[in-house]
Structure 1
């Protein structure tokens, strides 16, 4: 059931009075054992996504030292993942195990709007962070402060809402899950609906992916050039010292320790998030376009199976982000340990190897003395 030409009157008059829609017999659904397993896995994903992202938000809220611009953006990304886990994933889990949509046609459109709303917000935050890394490392301009971050977050919420809102007021095709475990964009031949779908997938994937890919390629090129420049300069310093020390100076130089660019570890973390975003969202983007433009694909017997796998992969990103935070960001990892009950802290805390923070312009050369370039 979709908001097409046969249901224009129903869409204009109000929500459809439908409480349950079953998967057609001609469509292939999962066996009952596999449906139960997928529902259990999705419930675990809901728990991990909620708890992990809630800890991220709690850390930024409770610790003043963590309230930087970048951490505020990460907390906003975590909040969007929390909302996605609570307001979208449970209904998908119920539909997977029962093969029925029990929540009405109007809530179908609401859930579709919420799904795209929180996804768009998460993508917008990743885009802001990527541009910020580009400005810092390539342009050497650190312009993102806490006040500007709050303004950009507010703007991103507004833009995400405006783009996702048409699906709830029947301005586009939204299918009650007869062929998918969640409300999806259905097949349509109306040009206006197809234009909206193209706008949606371009906003969610193609524009952010292109900008982030360009930013990271520029950053990697900058880091590579800086590494070559620093290495050549260090070699020249070593040769000048060898000429002064004579043959006794031809010993193996100490390991040179160079901080090639400030905040490069944060860049690596965001790069991993970008790779996760690409892997999780490229299949869904292709799936959405084929669903709307290809009648053969949309009405194929395998559509339910494909849609379930693709939707599961997009939800996996909500679980993926907090794991990356705790793995890559030491302060978040230490804060997570503080929030854990003492009964879970079995192993004693092992002091990590401290690494002195050095400025990008400082080079440690062969000798024990350091030289600033």
Structure 2
């Protein structure tokens, strides 16, 4: 059976040996006030996530100069977060308050498919961005053009849809909540169901996490070595100038200052996104696997509050990205001011500095005759 009603676990053979289901007792669920508070926070998250990510999409759509490869990827990541906020989070908020799925069994399967579909797409885009940073900084290869980015975006959508499809066509057990805050892959002893749960966990978290972790470790090592080379080269220039000018101990040699912040700022932003992805998705991945594999955990009284917390943390990522953009990216802050009504602006807009296009890989190269770009 591909779909089970959580209000009657005996229909799926999931009752406890003594014929009781402890999770159905309201006292074992979260307090009403806490559930209402979590739902209110989720509504606030939906608003912030939608507005912040919509600005990212509008920036790329309205300004042709902003349609670079990396910006197209960030816009796709923002769009997947928008869809997750609009098509999944509202139903979860209602279910958290009512502790009852009110949208039917068919939409239950659809909601599971949409959830994993948009999550997989967001993770795929973040993985592409991380690999692109690895190629630029470590391999010094800037090969991702806007055309290639569009091809990879289309491929990621197709792959994500293929992985999420089994949950909607009835190839795996989907559980209607009373024991979860939204429709989930419930406990099953079927090897096919467990294999699909492992596939989702591997595709959503473990493989992307491993690849991105390796990429960022290599990038950190490369940036550290380049920083040492630049500072060593600057010291050698300073010594050469001292020897040529014949400066005495009473005279101070000229200082050569090398600012590395502009070389690592873009990478640091992507690294923060990776850390946010890891923190938000590790708990949900573990809970999802335990729900399918562990009967004791799935039917325990603690499963509902734990699953609510893990799911809330996974949704937090949709709000996390726009906040990071606003904090780290000056162009994003300027675009926010442009979209903001003039009556709401506190400070007048200051003209920005002139911009020039450079190859991203060039700022990480340290040559023998040039210590800064």
TM value normalised by structure 1: 0.88
- 1:344 alignment partner in structure 2: 344
Does the 8 A contact of 1:130 with 1:270 survive in 2? yes
Q: Take 2:87 and 2:211, find their aligned partners in 1: how far apart are those partners? A: 29
Does the 8 A contact of 1:188 with 1:293 survive in 2? yes
Q: Take 1:266 and 1:372, find their aligned partners in 2: how far apart are those partners? A: 17
TM value normalised by structure 2: 0.88
Does the 8 A contact of 1:205 with 1:282 survive in 2? yes
Q: Take 1:293 and 1:109, find their aligned partners in 2: how far apart are those partners? A: 20
- 1:251 alignment partner in structure 2: 252
Alpha-carbon shift at residue 253 of structure 1 (Å) = 4.0
Which of 53-62 and 354-363 deviates more?
354-363
Does the 8 A contact of 1:290 with 1:297 survive in 2? yes
Matches within 5 A, 1:157-306: 157-248=157-248, 250-251=251-252, 253-254=254-255, 256-259=257-260, 264-306=264-306
Does the 8 A contact of 1:257 with 1:363 survive in 2? no
- Cα gap change, 1:89 to 1:326, in 2 (>3 Å): same
Does the 8 A contact of 2:134 with 2:218 survive in 1? yes
- Cα gap change, 1:364 to 1:252, in 2 (>3 Å): farther
Secondary structure of the residue aligned to 2:175 is coil
- Cα gap change, 1:45 to 1:230, in 2 (>3 Å): same
- 2:89 alignment partner in structure 1: 89
Secondary structure of the residue aligned to 1:142 is coil
Alpha-carbon shift at residue 247 of structure 1 (Å) = 2.9
- Cα gap change, 1:267 to 1:359, in 2 (>3 Å): closer
Alpha-carbon shift at residue 88 of structure 1 (Å) = 0.2
**Which stretches of structure 1, 4 residues or longer, exceed 6 Å deviation after superposition?**
351-358, 362-365, 370-373
Alpha-carbon shift at residue 98 of structure 1 (Å) = 1.1
- Cα gap change, 1:362 to 1:167, in 2 (>3 Å): closer
Q: Take 1:282 and 1:158, find their aligned partners in 2: how far apart are those partners? A: 24
Alpha-carbon shift at residue 371 of structure 1 (Å) = 7.0
Does the 8 A contact of 1:227 with 1:260 survive in 2? no
Does the 8 A contact of 2:130 with 2:212 survive in 1? yes
Secondary structure of the residue aligned to 2:242 is helix
Q: Take 1:64 and 1:325, find their aligned partners in 2: how far apart are those partners? A: 19
- 1:333 alignment partner in structure 2: 333
- Cα gap change, 1:216 to 1:361, in 2 (>3 Å): closer
Does the 8 A contact of 1:35 with 1:96 survive in 2? yes
Alpha-carbon shift at residue 257 of structure 1 (Å) = 2.2
Alpha-carbon shift at residue 351 of structure 1 (Å) = 6.3
Q: Which runs of 5+ in 2 are unaligned?
A: 13-22
Which of 281-290 and 28-37 deviates more?
28-37
- 2:20 alignment partner in structure 1: none
Alpha-carbon shift at residue 254 of structure 1 (Å) = 3.0
Alpha-carbon shift at residue 189 of structure 1 (Å) = 0.7
Q: Take 1:189 and 1:223, find their aligned partners in 2: how far apart are those partners? A: 48
Alpha-carbon shift at residue 348 of structure 1 (Å) = 2.9
- Cα gap change, 1:255 to 1:237, in 2 (>3 Å): closer
Q: Take 2:245 and 2:191, find their aligned partners in 1: how far apart are those partners? A: 78
Secondary structure of the residue aligned to 2:164 is helix
- RMSD after superposition: 2.7
- Cα gap change, 1:116 to 1:372, in 2 (>3 Å): closer
- 2:76 alignment partner in structure 1: 76
Q: Take 1:42 and 1:259, find their aligned partners in 2: how far apart are those partners? A: 39
- Cα gap change, 1:51 to 1:364, in 2 (>3 Å): farther
Q: How many residues align?
A: 353
- Cα gap change, 1:26 to 1:2, in 2 (>3 Å): farther
Secondary structure of the residue aligned to 1:247 is coil
Alpha-carbon shift at residue 108 of structure 1 (Å) = 0.8
Does the 8 A contact of 1:259 with 1:362 survive in 2? no
